[in-house]
Amino acid sequence: MSKKVALGMSGGVDSSLCAHLLKEQGYDVTGVFLECWRAPGCRTDQDRKDALKIALKLDIPFQVLDFKQTYHDKVVKYFFKEYQAGRTPNPDVMCNKEIKFGLFYDWAMKNNFDYVATGHYAKTQNGQLLTPKDVWKDQTYFLYLLTEKQLKHILFPLANLTKKEVRIEAKKRGIHVASKPDSVGICFIGDIDVRKFLKEGLGEKPGEVIDTQSNVIGTHNGIWFYTIGQRHGFTLKSSTSIKQSDGLMIERTNLPPFYVISKDAKKNQLVVGSNTVAYQGNFLLSELHLINQSEKLPTKLLVRIRHTGEMMPAQLRNKDKNYLIKLQKPARGIATGQSAVFYQKINDNNFQCLGGGIIY
């Protein structure tokens, strides 16, 4: 008897090719469209029609699951709450946890499916999460909260294909969305103006921009509009009076480029510093999650602080109830609220994603 697969179909080229590949491989496929967001300009209706057209062409069952309320409560509220608190959230990580491999995965298991499949660029092998062939599309960073148990019931049909190859294979099969542009932006919401989205949800709250010596050197429109490492968007005075360590006040003009290095939500202040100050060698991590609980996390590993970012050599040490990450070389843009994801090298072409945690 063929294994039953519930395939998350978005109406894009990736999941559409997955439907073809899985059927060609002999699986009993059901296409599932996850409806999570509806707003003016949203592509939900067209995406659902595109997904349905693929399902009809392949003669596979198709259904729509309405997750809009949970998505709003678990992902959108988290998004605004984190920015309001001065942190930088990761909605794609939360979306995968709560929706794709939360509600959808649970629904599939309860309905006696053997596997859940998605168009993610990632690889699973014996309950392990591995990086895919396409290093530029690698989405393992967003999947670090998966568990070994889940991975044994997950298929990533695009593991051994590059994006270019996906489009070529889609055209070979006459898939009508073969040239459809990729969805970018926030998971399920898509390509939106994040600044405008934040303004609609949180408004503006002007405050001070200060340097590392607490000198007020400019203004901002609301700390949620800025991320760690950002260089533009705030307003600096053309000249400012700065108090030196000896107590003397000097007038300083032609200020050098400044980068956001931290945010103080209580004081509504944006702290900026020079390029040198923006680099950090150590940071703390909370909410550590290991994909394979039976495996001991090595003290020396590779860490990413952003999607498809550089895998940086680092050491992991216990610190009180949390963890200290010591980078071999300092890095810029280490943002509280973002995820730090761990890897270890298997061979020249493969890395295993071990898990990760939240930077704070």
Number of C-alpha atoms within 13 angstroms, CB side, residue 316? 24
Q: Which of 18, 36, 42, 95 is catalytic?
A: 95
Between the alpha carbon of residue 138 and those of residues 70, 128, 130, the distances in Å are: 27, 15, 10
95 catalytic per annotation: yes
Rounded distance between C-alpha atoms, residue 283 and residue 326, angstroms: 7
Strand 4-8 to 115-117 pairing: parallel
Per the rule left: phi > 0, alpha: psi between -120 and 50, beta: everything else, 61 is: beta
18 catalytic per annotation: no
Strand 259-264 to 279-290 pairing: unpaired
Rounded distance between C-alpha atoms, residue 205 and residue 338, angstroms: 23
Main-chain phi, psi angles of 189, to 5 degrees: -85, -40
Identify the bridge partners of residue 6 per DSSP, sorted by sequence position. Answer: 30, 116
Q: Which of 18, 36, 42, 187 is catalytic?
A: 187
The residues annotated as belonging to the active site are 95, 187
